[in-house]
Structure 1
Amino acid sequence: MYESHSLLVLPHVRVQNANAISSPMTWGFPAMTAFVGLMHLLERRLTARDVPLLFEGVGVVCHHCEPQASHRGYTHAFHLTRNPVGRDGDTAAIVEEGRVHLEVSLVFAVRGDACAAPAEERAAIAREVGELLLTLRVAGGTVLPGSFRGRRWNGPELIPLDEQEDERRQQSKRLLRRWLPGFALVCRDDLLHERHAEMRADDPDTTLLDAWLDLSRLNMTCRGGEDDGEETIRWEARRRPGWLVPIPVGYGALGPLQAGGDVRRARDTATPLRFVESLYSIGQWVSPHRLDSPERLLWYVDNRLDEGRYRLRNDYIDNAAEFV
């Protein structure tokens, strides 16, 4: 796990109509790739403003999540917009778009000369980042002007982390408690591979997809016993180690890299293009006070270009790099 030197905290950002469809197979909370994309965009905009700040990772603590969907039993349906009729008077087609209202705290690992600036200059830079965020989209959603305002929370902050181990530990505890109540999304590749090994012991043909689906659903287990001499059977839900959810973690290449302009109707004719599909893993929602440092909730880019893999990593577990 790498150590961050400074953190840029944007607390309690209110986002309206963010994208709730995180991948072709998952929905509910936006994909972490959306927040990493926001991180890169912030860095580019700040570079254009000559702000000496470089971004290394991003963490998200969710305080409120309200999917715009209704459900009856096990059937869920998104709330869709009805568009005006076309010029010919016919009803316009409805494109399914999942939306969710969010309130999240964004935690960025940053470095640069701005991190060593005096406190007043750091506060000015943090306010500038907060004002810039209000002009951008977060996972396709609109940032509401009421963000960062509240009597219980501070505004955006650029916080240098203490270099002394003991002082850094105490500082980390104070920061993590500040983000309560809420839950941070972390990656649990280890649980996916452990479950895969357990299932392969019973069936050698079991794949990682089988293990992923097993951890993503509610599994019922039949248990037998005796009651007054009579055999009884009861069904119980299999307990899982925490609040686990299926998540996309990046993209895998479906073919070779194409030169810019070789693919027709591409948005950008100068940038190389590659067709990809989503990569999936298992995530876990963890309360921030259960983490030993803010670095545990950070996500960062760990591409393997020679293998055609563009994915994100999270160091909630120390041996995260061992898992594909």
Structure 2
Amino acid sequence: MSHANIPQALLVLPRLRVQNANAISSPLTHGFPSVTAFTGLMWALERKLAQADVPLHLHAVGVVCHHHQEQVTQGYVRSFNLTRNPVDKDGSTAAIVEEGRIHLEITLVFTVSEKSATGVAPTLVQGAQEHRQQWADAAGRVLSQMRVAGGSLLPSRAGPGRRVRPWMELLPDDAQKRAEHFRAWRRQWLPGFALVGRDDLLAERLRTLQATDRQATLLDAWLHAARFNHQPVKPEEGKAQSADGKVPWEDPLRKRGSGWLVPIPVGYAALSARHAAGSVLNARDAAAPLRFVESVYSIGEWISPHRLTHLEQLLWQAETDEAKGLYRCRNGYQPAPESADAAVEAEEWDDDEDAYAYP
């Protein structure tokens, strides 16, 4: 297997300040850019790096969000803050196209390898740390001239204990050493939350619904998991009802410490056959084949980086199934088995209360 197909190093672009990124991630979701926006950014960055004579191949991307501010009106019902367009020729109000915007502070994590010619010694592995830092700095300069999820990059703000300069480190071959390095790396991404995939929870929710309704579908499970489903809770056996007669309400599938779960788009599913390049009028790229698609949805979870045990849990990579017409992103997160220690930790630090406190 070619070295270009095996991740050799980690490229980190920390504390990126993004202004007016796209907050509408799909026809049904909003609040953070889609994962596909960051995989698309990864491919565009690789092409730009090639033009800058930086021979890096980018394999997968991880996203850690440190701060976000969606541009919406506050209140029980929220709406996007929209721009006021100039009036028409006759003086009437021009039509408003709804645009969702969000300000972000994020860290992007890429696994990379070197695209070296046959018979040429790999510079990435054998070169010094100074050389890797030069490539990391070049990646930062290139990215500063690009759009991130439709938003513009602002200069990073340095501060005590805050590393804002891009950096690159080799990935150890030994699994134990790689785990030790990752424990050191993930501390640099605090405080923040990493977006991981939870397809397992969507499947579990479907099984729960089908236990009472055999006609329930994946769409029903996704909609059910995307909202709070409160219901009255009966007192436990042997316990008396509340003296005031009030009955508590809660979501039995979103108990305390269950995590910050969100509906997310993860890719696209084909609606048509592939059309030859240039055969569809007004296509964005007349030199590439075209296929009409619709969004594919799943469940994601925002999780603190210190709860991740290895690098693959953080990363997203694209997966293509031409036979099924499926183009989606996959994440390597696997939940750890529940234990007594985990239950105590969840009780001491309630993710839900901390997460939903953001504006």
TM-score, normalization by structure 1: 0.92
Specify which of 80, 84, 87 is matched with residue 85 of structure 1.
Answer: 87
Q: Deviations 1:37-79 (Å, cap 9, x if unpaired)?
A: 1100010011122211100000000000100001322x11000
List aligned pairs for 1:122-133, cutoff 5 A.
122-133=132-143
Q: Does 1:268 align with 2:299?
A: no
Aligned to 1:7: 10
- 8 Å Cα contact 2:6-2:113 kept in structure 1: no
Q: Does 1:30 align with 2:33?
A: yes
Q: What is the SS of the residue equivalent to 1:91? A: coil
Identity of matched residues, %: 50
TM-score, normalization by structure 2: 0.83
List aligned pairs for 1:147-158, cutoff 5 A.
147=156, 149-154=158-163, 155-158=165-168
Q: Structure 2 counterpart of 1:234, which letter? A: P
Aligned to 1:42: 45
Q: What is the SS of the residue equivalent to 1:92? A: coil
Q: Are residues 44 and 114 of structure 1, via their aligned partners in 2, closer, same or farther at CA, if it must alter by over 3 Å?
A: farther
List aligned pairs for 1:1-324, cutoff 5 A.
4-73=7-76, 75-112=77-114, 113-116=122-125, 117-144=127-154, 146-147=155-156, 149-154=158-163, 155-225=165-235, 226-227=240-241, 233-238=247-252, 239-240=254-255, 241-317=258-334
- 8 Å Cα contact 1:244-1:284 kept in structure 2: yes
Q: Deviations 1:60-110 (Å, cap 9, x if unpaired)?
A: 00000100001322x110000002223443322211000000000000010
Using the alignment, how far apart are the partners of 1:115 and 1:93 within structure 2? 53
Q: Deviations 1:8-58 (Å, cap 9, x if unpaired)?
A: 000000000000000000000100100111100010011122211100000
Q: What is the SS of the residue equivalent to 2:329? A: strand
- 8 Å Cα contact 1:11-1:148 kept in structure 2: no
Deviation of 1:268 (Å) = 2.1
Q: Structure 2 counterpart of 1:34, which letter? A: A
Q: CA RMSD in A?
A: 1.9
Gap regions ≥5 residues in structure 2:
115-121, 336-359
Q: What is the SS of the residue equivalent to 1:14? A: strand
More strand by share: 1
Q: What is the SS of the residue equivalent to 2:74? A: strand
Q: Structure 1 counterpart of 2:168, which letter? A: L
Q: What is the SS of the residue equivalent to 1:45? A: helix
Using the alignment, how far apart are the partners of 1:300 and 1:9 within structure 2? 16
Q: Are residues 50 and 148 of structure 1, via their aligned partners in 2, closer, same or farther at CA, if it must alter by over 3 Å?
A: farther
Q: What is the SS of the residue equivalent to 2:215? A: coil
Gap regions ≥5 residues in structure 1:
319-324
Q: Are residues 197 and 89 of structure 1, via their aligned partners in 2, closer, same or farther at CA, if it must alter by over 3 Å?
A: same
Residues matched between the structures, number: 315
Q: Deviations 1:270-304 (Å, cap 9, x if unpaired)?
A: 21111100000000001000111122110001110
Deviation of 1:141 (Å) = 0.2
Using the alignment, how far apart are the partners of 1:8 and 1:193 within structure 2? 33
Q: Structure 1 counterpart of 2:96, which letter? A: I
Q: Are residues 114 and 12 of structure 1, via their aligned partners in 2, closer, same or farther at CA, if it must alter by over 3 Å?
A: farther
Using the alignment, how far apart are the partners of 2:211 and 2:228 within structure 1? 21
Deviation of 1:263 (Å) = 1.5
Deviation of 1:236 (Å) = 2.1
Q: What is the SS of the residue equivalent to 2:41? A: helix
Q: Which runs of 4+ in 1 moved over 6 A?
A: 228-231
Deviation of 1:306 (Å) = 1.1
Q: Structure 1 counterpart of 2:162, which letter? A: W
